[in-house]
Every structure is written in C-alpha cells, then in structure tokens.
C-alpha cells in the first residue's frame, strides 16, 4: 500500500528506529512512547486491522504473539510483566491502518475504567 505509513517504513522509504526484522515482521520503537519500552510489532503484509483477518492469517498471527513473547524474554521483562495491545478502529484508537501489536513494558502499567 503506497500511502500506508507502516508499508513505507517496511519499504525503508521512511526511517524508523528498527529493533528487529525478518522476512515476515518488522519491529520498531514507537515514535511517541507511552512506556519505558514501547515497541510496535508489524507484519510486513498489509492487513488494515484485526477486523480484516482471514483464516489464512492464523499462522502469521500466532507467530506475531510468539515474537512478542521472545522479545519480552530478551528484554528481561518476561517475569516482571508487560502489555500487548491491538487498537482496532475509531473507538479503539487505531490511528495507523496497518495491523500492529503494541508491546509496552518497563514499569507498572496503569489500568483505568475509561
């Protein structure tokens, strides 16, 4: 998707602070972190949101969670705890319409009733 910001980061047309990359995923630091560690785990294929997942994406999404758990272990927050978030759609606060998993950690994270 030419106009998609995350597709442009994947294509290296826009710079990002890349933490990890393989053939299926790119992981980079959020430009506006809300926790000491705030990474975005992004499948390279353009899927707009969780709402657009198809049965064929099952393996990819499974791998995305495995990657999150590997990163948490490597960052030393596996046992301390962390948070994984998908924002979905307007009320879910999704700004970038390319599926991504937020990994937040490094402190006790607040939880509110909204």
Whether 18 and 26 have beta carbons less than 8 Å apart is answered as yes
Binding status of residue 93 toward ligand AMP by CB under 6 A: yes
Binding status of residue 7 toward Zn ion by CB under 5 A: yes
Within 8 A by CB and 6+ apart from 79, the residues are none
- Which partner in Zn ion, ligand AMP, none is near 50 (CB below 5 to 8 A by kind)? none
Binding status of residue 30 toward ligand AMP by CB under 6 A: yes
Whether 82 and 26 have beta carbons less than 8 Å apart is answered as no
Closest CA to 40 of 53, 25, 52, 23: 25
Q: Which is nearer to Zn ion, 26 or 37 (by Cβ)? A: 26
Catalytic site residues?
100
Positions that interact with Zn ion (CB under 5 A): 1, 4, 6-7, 46, 98
């Amino acid at each position: 998707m030419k106009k998609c910001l995350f597709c442009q980061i994947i294509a290296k047309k826009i710079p990002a602070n890349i933490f990890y990359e393989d053939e299926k995923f790119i992981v980079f630091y959020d430009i506006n972190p809300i926790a000491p560690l705030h990474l975005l785990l992004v499948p390279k294929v353009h899927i707009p949101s969780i709402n657009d997942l198809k049965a064929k994406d099952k393996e990819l999404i499974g791998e995305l969670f495995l990657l999150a758990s590997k990163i948490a272990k490597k960052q030393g927050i596996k046992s301390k705890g962390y948070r994984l978030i998908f924002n979905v759609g307007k009320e879910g606060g999704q700004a970038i319409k390319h599926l991504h998993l937020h990994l937040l950690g490094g402190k006790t994270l607040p939880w509110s009733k909204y």
